[in-house]
Copies of this chain bind each other. A is one copy, B any other.
């Protein structure tokens, strides 16, 4: 039960919902909305409340266990914080999400912030496009 250690390290009590949600995020990988997490757990027969899912994900975010993304105004999605920052490419047709890190861009952002007198705290870069799936390419 290494999840328990992570939750404890985050300063949170070990509760069933927290363990289930963290396990699910680790098992599934990728980017899940609160609703996704709720539905998957329900389908697996777990009983859990949607409000709890939202609360726990927000706590995990504050604790640095997960990262929240506000991709195009629908629902927020969450992913495990693997320690290293990355940005995203999203297919506008199928919704596929790919990740990337580009040091040139990272450095430029720091310079831009400095030039504008901003102390940089964070950033979000999302590239929207059409991915290489057959259906996606011919759909557009």
A residues apposed to B, CB below 8 Å: 70, 72-73, 76, 89, 91-92, 98, 100, 102, 104-105, 108-109, 112-113, 116-132, 137, 140
Contacts and interface: CB of A to CB of B under 8 A. Distances in A.
A100 B112 contact: yes
Contacts of A113: 89, 127, 129
Number of copies: 2
Contacts of A118: 89, 91, 98, 127, 129-132
Nearest to A104: B108
A12 to B, nearest CB: 23
Contacts of A100: 112, 116
Contacts of A129: 113, 118-122
Most chain B C-beta atoms within 10 Å of own C-beta, residue among A125, A130, A137, A140: A125
B123 A127 contact: yes
Nearest to A69: B73
Contacts of A124: 124-126, 128
Contacts of A132: 116-118
A116 to B, nearest CB: 5
When A and B form their complex, which 4 residue pairs have the shortest distance between CB atoms, in order from nearest?
Answer: A117-B132, A118-B129, A70-B73, A120-B129
